[in-house]
Amino acid sequence: MELTARHRITGVEWDTGERAVAMVVEITDPQTARPVDVRIEVIEEGTARAHPRARTIGTVVRDGRRFDVVGTYLGVVADEN
């Protein structure tokens, strides 16, 4: 997922209609912040993270089971020009 460097994820929830995780993202400075790549993963609660820099964003309940939503900063988006 591509976000601006100045963002804050303020909430996550399971959208039963879309069968997907919905995130509330606050962009704090969209005009000057450069884009960054962030990997978002939904893993069973308590599962070891694939990357040591992964951070828990929140927890959702899907079909009666709890899942952690984790994000990992991957770096600044490469300039393709």
Summarize pLDDT for 31-56 with one digit per residue, the tens.
878 888 898 999 999 888 878 889 99
CA distance 57 to 46: 13
Residue 54 lies in a domain: yes
pLDDT of residue 2: 84
DSSP code, position 29 = -
- Residue 32 CB-half CA count within 13 A: 2
Q: What is the pTM of this model?
A: 0.79
Give me the domain span that covers residue 60.
Answer: 2-76
pLDDT of residue 80: 61
Residue 81 lies in a domain: no
Query: Are 36 and 71 spatial neighbours (Cβ–Cβ below 8 Å)?
Result: no
pLDDT of residue 59: 94
The predicted-structure confidence for 55-75, as pLDDT tens digits, reads as follows 999 999 998 999 999 998 888
What's the structural domain count of the chain? 1
pLDDT of residue 75: 86
